[in-house]
């Protein structure tokens, strides 16, 4: 079966993007696809603990991320340099994610059949 990697590179609440990307991920899960996620660039903010979007009437996307494990989506990666550039650390993220150096991204991607992003 094909393995899917979804690259999450958008900030959480600047647009509808993350919510619509999560719709794709949940649909893939409903089709029993094997889905992994890679957070990089502004996308590292998507998992930041303690965020709230209520005052903007945005969906709480972080709550959807918290639920992904129920759909067996638990192979999560974050690019180390992106985290550092945003001044974040793994401990500030709401889910257990595996750090991967920028130099390792190509090798990581080559292990997947379908890559979606942006």
Sites of contact with another protein (CB under 8 A) = 2, 4, 16-17, 20, 23-24, 27-28, 30-31, 33, 114-118
State the residue for tokens 């993007």: 17
Query: Which C-beta is closer to another protein: that of 18 or that of 93?
Result: 18
Please compute Rg for the chain using Cα positions. 14
HSE (side-chain half, CA atoms, 13 Å) at 44: 22
Query: Which C-beta is closer to another protein: that of 57 or that of 91?
Result: 57
CB of 61 to another protein, least distance (A): 15
Query: Which C-beta is closer to another protein: that of 30 or that of 107?
Result: 30
CB contact at 8 A, 2 and 36: no
């Amino acid at each position: 079966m094909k393995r899917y990697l979804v690259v999450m590179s958008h900030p959480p609440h600047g647009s509808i993007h993350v919510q619509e990307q999560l719709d794709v991920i949940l649909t893939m899960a409903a089709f029993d696809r094997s889905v992994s996620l890679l957070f990089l660039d502004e996308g590292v903010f998507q998992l930041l603990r303690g965020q709230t979007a209520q005052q903007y009437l945005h969906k709480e996307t972080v709550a959807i991320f918290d639920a992904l494990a129920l759909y067996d989506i638990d192979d999560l990666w974050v690019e180390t340099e992106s985290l550092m550039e945003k001044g974040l650390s793994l401990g500030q993220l709401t889910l257990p994610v595996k750090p991967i150096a920028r130099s390792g991204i190509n090798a990581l991607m080559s292990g997947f059949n379908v890559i979606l992003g942006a």
